[in-house]
Amino acid sequence: MIVIPLGVSSATPTAVRHLPSVALWREGSVYLFDCGENAQMRLLQAGIKRSKVETIFISHMDGDHIFGLFGLLSTLQLQRRNKPLKIIGPEGLKKMIDAVLEATTLQIEYELQFKELKSDFEHEVVLEQEDFYVEARPLKHTTFCIGYRLQEKDKPGKVDAQKATDAGITEDAHFKALKAGEDVTLEDGTIVHSADIVGDPRTGESFVYVTDTEFCENAVRLSENATILYHEATFGEPLKEKAEDTGHSSAQDAAIVAKTAKVDRLVIGHFSARYSNQFLLLKEARGVFEKTWIAYELRPIFTNPAQEKEIISPRVEIIDLKDKRAQHSKKTFKPAGGQRQKSGFKKKRFKRKPSNARYYKSGDSDRPQPRRDRYKKPHKPGDNEKTSPHRPSKPLPITPRTPFDDFDRF
């Protein structure tokens, strides 16, 4: 599965962050979690076909999480969608969409299948498919809000082809039977046991979507042993009181949920517009739960990172912005496994002018042409590592300049 954050802002969008929506790609189908304004454009920009959207899960009825629905429904109509679209969310969803359809010229000809949850529900499986299901639990926000977990069912183990051939299995039907856990009797009466040929069942992957909520038990229950937990981190701990007043979590709250539920990875999103540097929130969360990533719009997150190609070790670490010494070391940063970065200045030797130097006048025909490099910027001592007296003995990590630098995968 691949998780693609489409909008990671909270209620107010910024110049670089859009309203909440997350796409989950699985086996060629797309599942949307919330549908803020611009969700359909972000799908397009992420390279995801809007026609592949099978189901939309809505967390709650706040406008910033649903106003993208109408535009998307309209586009799907213009694309002449001819298969049903499931929309799952709190009660009132159908009424709202019907009202918009009635008040506008928008006519939907494909089937909309609604599943609405009542505000007093406790736990429900809202979607059941052959190889996965989605369960929902209520969260703790100022309005009725729902958290979701998409859980793949366990897959059968892999058939060891060599072992099967050695045991005399040649027919496809026998391979299938072994994979399904059945023992096979060959023509000569030999019994081939499935357990000897097929490996252990593989645990299904899971994705949990928790936003908007204060820290609550249900968030932990939904997230137990999840592969990826996408959790809101609207504020930092210094604004804890504001988070509680508005029914939101701090980055630390998200990390506590992840730690308690023992998830594989936490991805934080839904950042307040006041944070132009969301890495402060990442740093706070990593203080509690190290395996935290930041949601960056359109940057895909694989549930199985091994499926990504060319994975390399992290290039930079997060440091305390108040730590002057670490910041000073930016120029001496050495990337993992690579050579020291070149400063961009060529090493220059200064020659002393000989004592018998001749001074030319402007009209002298044999006057040497001025050297272009005289007009270059003067060489600062810090730029030449060998001459810098303050150079620390070991290169220290730097603060990432772009969000791209932070990911373990790049």
Give residues 139-198 in contact with Zn ion (rule: CB under 5 A): none
Q: How far is the CB of 6 from Zn ion (least distance, A)?
A: 14
Q: Mark the segment that binds Zn ion (CB under 5 A) among 179-187, 208-216, 316-324, 346-354.
A: 208-216
Amino acid in the structure at residue 161: A
* 8 Å CB contact between 6 and 43: yes
Is 64 annotated in the active site? yes
| Sign of the CA dihedral with 227 first, then 231, 236, and 239 last | negative
Q: What is the spatial distance between Cα 104 and Cα 367, in angstroms, rounded to a whole number?
A: 82
Query: Of the candidates 221, 227, 226, 277, which has an alpha carbon nearest to the alpha carbon of residue 251?
Result: 277
Q: Under the criterion CB under 5 A, does residue 37 sit at the interface with Zn ion?
A: no
**Cβ-based nearer residue to Zn ion, 142 or 388:** 142
Q: What is the spatial distance between Cα 284 and Cα 243, in angstroms, rounded to a whole number?
A: 15
Q: How far is the CB of 270 from Zn ion (least distance, A)?
A: 6
**Cβ-based nearer residue to Zn ion, 212 or 406:** 212
What's the chain's Rg over C-alpha atoms?
Answer: 29
User: Could you write out the DSSP letters of every residue in 17-77?
Assistant: --SSEEEEEETTEEEEE---TTHHHHHHHTT--GGGEEEEE-----HHHHTTHHHHHHHHH
**Cβ-based nearer residue to Zn ion, 205 or 212:** 212
Q: Mark the segment that binds Zn ion (CB under 5 A) among 107-115, 117-125, 205-213, 377-385.
A: 205-213
Q: How far is the CB of 272 from Zn ion (least distance, A)?
A: 10
Q: Mark the segment that binds Zn ion (CB under 5 A) among 98-106, 188-196, 206-214, 311-319.
A: 206-214
Q: What is the spatial distance between Cα 18 and Cα 284, in angstroms, rounded to a whole number?
A: 23
* 8 Å CB contact between 328 and 320: no
Which of the residues 34, 64, 253, 406 is marked catalytic?
A: 64
The two tokens of residue 180 are: 């399904």
Number of residues that bind Zn ion (CB under 5 A): 1
Q: Under the criterion CB under 5 A, does residue 212 sit at the interface with Zn ion?
A: yes
Q: What is the DSSP letter of 375?
A: G
Q: How far is the CB of 65 from Zn ion (least distance, A)?
A: 6
Cβ-closest position to Zn ion: 212
Amino acid in the structure at residue 129: Q
Q: How far is the CB of 59 from Zn ion (least distance, A)?
A: 8
Dihedral pair phi/psi, residue 262, rounded to 5°: 55, 50
The two tokens of residue 381 are: 């001592």
Dihedral pair phi/psi, residue 317, rounded to 5°: -120, 160
Q: What is the DSSP letter of 92?
A: T
Q: How far is the CB of 61 from Zn ion (least distance, A)?
A: 11
Q: Mark the segment that binds Zn ion (CB under 5 A) among 211-219, 236-244, 315-323, 367-375.
A: 211-219
- Give the residues lining the site for Zn ion (CB under 5 A): 212
Which residues have a catalytic role annotated? 64
